[in-house]
Amino acid sequence: MNPTLIGIAGIVLMVIVFLTRMPVSYVMTLVGLAGFSLLVSTQGALNMLAKDIYSVFASYGLTTIPLFILMGQLAFSSGISRRLYDTAYKFMGSTRGGLAIATVSACTAFGSVCGSSPATAATMATVGLPEMKRFKYADELATGAVASGGGLGMIMPPSVVLIVYGVLTEQSIGKLFVAGIVPAILITLLFCLAILVWCTIAPQQGPRGESFSWKERIKALGDLGETLLVFALVMGGLFFGWFTPTEAAAVGVFGVVAVSLLRRRLTWKGFVAALYETLRTSCMVMMLIAGAMVFGKFMAVTRIPFDIAQWIEHLNLAPILILAVIVLVYFVGGCFMDSLALVMLTVPIFLPLILHLGYDPIWFGIVIVMVTEMGVITPPVGINVYVVYGVALGMKEEVALESIFKGILPFLLAIFVGIALIALFPQLVLFLPNLMY
């Protein structure tokens, strides 16, 4: 049978089996295994399965995930995140959707030190979800903000996708990082705008709270003293290069424990509960990544991304239309595949085409990252959405999966607008790197 047909059948089968409520990660693994054995060999597929799962579990880069989740859990069980949001509320609470805006901005700040998008989503969901619910924010807005905000971790440097892109296309990674800053801020602003518009149309989603005087606000900030110190240590340490992301997470855990013990907020029981909840969430996230990896191998051997890229190469269209088709391919591809695998498979084919059309490779890299950022929140394979859903379940703040998918729509729209702006005004991306190099 034709590999392309098997690939499409695999996607359809996966979506159908999703509906049985079988865990999403199990389904991706199962369908990936079946497809790979059809296309390569049963023996090869069985061996690939075990090795892929092990290599995801035993990946140093991914050890940031359990550690940052643990930091978030400890901040939650010792009341640190509660105080953080109380303070944010005093500053932003009187604006409609203000806490969601604060959360999205925090995601960008967190993303500026962490290169992994599920890690950003998981951390921010642990800290932010229960708090936003406490202030009567609707599920859609609260979960949509953290799931989409998590993706900002990928555009905002450092970014794993940008490093891979830089190595693949022989572009300066430093230049790519610098180029990512303005678009990341632009998307953050567009997200905030989306929240404002959304809460104007549906005010019950992010209700306006009371307003506070500046005196009260400054006092609230003062209460955060040592907590801010911990976060400054984590962020500053990463920024100034005292440690790597995994190390920063460990320092964060250590700092949060120290602060909570100092304030006598952390009990042994609370500590153990945080450990177990971290294990549960991490296991869920890692199994999702492993499932996406196995399924991605199947997609790779169908050669569908490869065939589509070659098909576009032979299209006779205006440059801007070709660009639009490429963006569409990444958008659709991101629905079914992990972004790194997709970039690895297709960029080498697209790049000569893009250069031939006269586009700047640095600029194209940023466009790719922005499009793949959508991939982490689009169904059926939208890792951030599942991560946020899982975190919410674990914190007894159950939300419906549909609510989250509904909640990401305004943010998707915002990213589309962002990409359009960057396509129209490439200088938004290029002026900073041109200034610096």
Partner 1 sequence: KTVTLTYSNFFPPTHIQSQLAEQWCQEVEKRTEGRVRIKYFAGGTLTPANQTYGGVLDGISDIGMSAFAYTRGRFPVMAIVDMPLGYPTGVAATAVANAVQAKFQPEELANTQVMYLHAHGPGIIHTRGKPVRTLEDLKGVTIRSTGFSAEMVKALGATPVAQPMPEAYQSLQKGVVDGSAHPIEANQGWKLGEVVHHATMAYSVGYTTAFFVVINKDKWNSLEARDRETIEAINAQWAVKHGEAWDSSDTEGLRAFFQQGNSAFGLDSREAARWEAAVAPMIDAYGQKLEDDGHNGKAILKAIRETLKNHR
Partner 2 sequence: MNLIWKAFQWITDKAKAAGGLCLVGMTVLTCADIIGRFFKYPIFGSVELVTFMGALAVAFALPFTHQTNGHIGVELVVRRLTLKTRLIIHILTGLAGSTLFAVVAWRMWVYGLNLNQAGEVSMNLQLPEYLIVLAVAACFFVLTIVILRGVIEAFGQLKTK
Cα–Cα dist 86/102, whole Å: 12
Task: Give the residue at shortest CB distance from Na ion.
Answer: 378
Q: How many residues sit in the footprint of partner 2 (CB under 8 A)?
A: 57
Q: How many residues sit in the footprint of Na ion (CB under 5 A)?
A: 11
* Partner from partner 2, partner 1, Na ion, none binding residue 351, C-beta < 5-8 Å depending on class: partner 1
No. of H helices and E strands in the chain?
21, 0
Joined tokens for residue 207: 């209700």
* Partner from Na ion, partner 2, partner 1, none binding residue 166, C-beta < 5-8 Å depending on class: partner 1
Cα–Cα dist 26/42, whole Å: 18
Q: Which member of 156, 300, 342, 391 binds Na ion (CB under 5 A)?
A: 156
17-76 residues near partner 1, rule: CB under 8 A: 40-41, 43-44, 47-48, 51, 55, 60-61
* Partner from partner 1, partner 2, Na ion, none binding residue 382, C-beta < 5-8 Å depending on class: Na ion
Question: 387 phi and psi, to 5 degrees?
Answer: -60, -45
Using CB under 8 A as the binding rule, whether residue 166 contacts partner 1 is answered as yes
Between 93 and 158, CB nearer to partner 1: 158
Q: Is 395 helix (H, G, I), strand (E, B) or coil?
A: coil
Question: 310 phi and psi, to 5 degrees?
Answer: -70, -35
* Partner from partner 1, Na ion, partner 2, none binding residue 301, C-beta < 5-8 Å depending on class: partner 1
2-31 residues near partner 2, rule: CB under 8 A: 17-26, 29-30
Residue with tokens 């979800």: 129
Question: 187 phi and psi, to 5 degrees?
Answer: -65, -40
Using CB under 8 A as the binding rule, whether residue 109 contacts partner 2 is answered as no
Q: Which member of 381, 404, 412, 429 binds Na ion (CB under 5 A)?
A: 381
* Partner from partner 1, partner 2, Na ion, none binding residue 170, C-beta < 5-8 Å depending on class: partner 1
Cα–Cα dist 150/180, whole Å: 15
* Partner from partner 1, Na ion, partner 2, none binding residue 240, C-beta < 5-8 Å depending on class: partner 1
Cα–Cα dist 357/305, whole Å: 21
State the alpha helices, DSSP H only, in 160-224: 160-169, 173-201, 214-223
Using CB under 8 A as the binding rule, whether residue 286 contacts partner 2 is answered as yes
Q: How remote is the C-alpha of 247 from its chain's centroid?
A: 20
* Alpha-carbon torsion (425, 362, 116, 266), positive or negative: negative
Using CB under 5 A as the binding rule, whether residue 394 contacts Na ion is answered as no
Other C-beta atoms within 10 Å of 317: how many? 12
CB 269 within 8 A of CB 80: no
Contact set with Na ion (CB under 5 A): 111, 115, 153, 156, 159, 334-335, 375, 378, 381-382
Contact set with partner 2 (CB under 8 A): 17-26, 29-30, 33, 46-47, 49-51, 53-54, 57-60, 62-63, 66-67, 70, 242-243, 246-247, 250-251, 253-254, 272, 275-276, 278-284, 286-287, 386, 389-390, 393-394, 400-402
